[in-house]
Amino acid sequence: MDEYLSALDTELRHAVITPESAYTAYYGMFRYHLGWTDTQFVETQTNPGKRIRPLLCLLACETLTGDWRRAMPAAVAIELAHNFSLIHDDIEDASDERRGRAAVWKVWGLAQGLNAGDGMFVLARLALDQMMERGYPIAKCNAVSRVFDAATLALCHGQFLDLGFEVRDDVTIDEYMQMVGGKTAALISAATRIGAMLATDDAQMIAAFARFGENIGTAFQITDDILGIWGDPQITGKSAASDILSKKKSLPAIFGLSHPRFGEALRAIYRKPALDQPDIARVMVLLDAIGARAYAEQRADEYRAAALAALAETGIANRAMSLLRDAAELMTRRVR
């Protein structure tokens, strides 16, 4: 995918060009967050994130037209919207780090960090506006714009639910699914939906790509939840069982906390202000005993299967479609 990533990187850089020198430090924050500079705005090469969402958008378009470049403005908008949410999430979760470096708000303070997130969101919209310049019919631009707006609203809804979960120990699996539908699946579904919209007017086809994104987005989040507890620290870059330590209401945790037999034992541990190593070990034993991991893996498999079924429904078989299936595979790989 190097060619796609390189073209995407170029377009992303265009989208965050400093418009005048008074805003050098403002756009510098964007570039730092996107992995291109250090905190002094000196060019550097760091981990820019996986850029899964824009790649899915480009590939969805390519499966239908053979041309991935025409979806580029939308792919850029989606990646910027994702990064807007990361900048704000880090403030909301009081996370000091992002992709192995200090989060924007830790470097420039909460106020500037928050305002940088807002700016990234506006830049996402302006990137979408670029579609007009690329000669797309105006009605198409408008339809894409509305899908984008709906996805960002879903993102906010999901984040609202997720923040609410932090102070509760009675979150249900249905509530979790609704949260993930907003926080993770909505933007991924918008990515594949918009990629298809820019390729065709066939509503059934567009719906199939949207369904693919929604399901693979959900499977992706559940996989991330599994790795947050059982992932190899050497590979995930996080401490072992990091989501237990942070008491995150991930799917395995919710499965455990709501378990008829062992839920109360887990809730008792989760009520402690902070967990120590013996607590974490005990939670791991309980989660293993009730099959929390197997449950989450099964749910992830179901969603991945639904995602692949949606792709199969399109009847398309070409190189881009294979790449899309590979992406689905990578997004749900349990060893990372």
| Least spacing, CB of residue 115 vs its own copies, in Å | 5
Instruction: Please identify which residue in 10, 50, 160, 170 interacts with its own copies, judged by CB under 8 A.
Output: 160
Binding mask 170-209 for its own copies (x = CB under 8 A): -----x--x-------------------------------
Q: Which is nearer to its own copies, 80 or 241 (CB)?
A: 80
Size of the residue set binding its own copies (CB under 8 A): 43
134 binds its own copies, rule: CB under 8 A? no
Query: From the CB of residue 327, how many other CB atoms can be counted at a distance below 10 Å?
Result: 18
Q: Which is nearer to its own copies, 2 or 20 (CB)?
A: 20
Is there a contact between 150 and 182 (Cβ–Cβ < 8 Å)? no
Instruction: Please identify which residue in 7, 26, 237, 279 interacts with its own copies, judged by CB under 8 A.
Output: 26
161 binds its own copies, rule: CB under 8 A? yes
- Residue 49: is it exposed, middle or buried by C-beta count within 10 angstroms (0-12/13-18/19+)? middle
Interface segment toward its own copies; rule CB under 8 A; list 115-123, 269-277, 288-296, 321-329: 115-123
Is there a contact between 289 and 265 (Cβ–Cβ < 8 Å)? no
Calculated CA dihedral for residues 196, 202, 203, 207, nearest 10 degrees: -40
| Least spacing, CB of residue 110 vs its own copies, in Å | 7
- Residue 274: is it exposed, middle or buried by C-beta count within 10 angstroms (0-12/13-18/19+)? exposed
Interface segment toward its own copies; rule CB under 8 A; list 17-25, 38-46, 202-210, 270-278: 17-25
Q: Which is nearer to its own copies, 23 or 202 (CB)?
A: 23
41 binds its own copies, rule: CB under 8 A? no
Q: What value does the CA radius of gyration of the chain take, rounded to a whole number of Å?
A: 20
118 binds its own copies, rule: CB under 8 A? yes
Instruction: Please identify which residue in 5, 114, 284, 312 interacts with its own copies, judged by CB under 8 A.
Output: 114
Is there a contact between 30 and 123 (Cβ–Cβ < 8 Å)? yes
- Residue 62: is it exposed, middle or buried by C-beta count within 10 angstroms (0-12/13-18/19+)? buried
Angle between helices 72-92 and 138-165 (to 10 degrees): 20
Backbone phi, psi, residue 191, to 5°: -60, -50
CA angle (279 as vertex; 164, 335 as ends), nearest 5: 75
Instruction: Please identify which residue in 2, 43, 135, 138 interacts with its own copies, judged by CB under 8 A.
Output: 138
Q: Check residue 88 and report its DSSP letter.
A: H
> Cα 324 from chain centroid?
16
Question: Residues in the site for its own copies, rule: CB under 8 A?
Answer: 22-23, 25-26, 88, 91-93, 110-112, 114-119, 121-123, 125-126, 129, 132, 138-139, 141-142, 145-146, 149-150, 152-153, 156-157, 159-161, 163-164, 175, 178
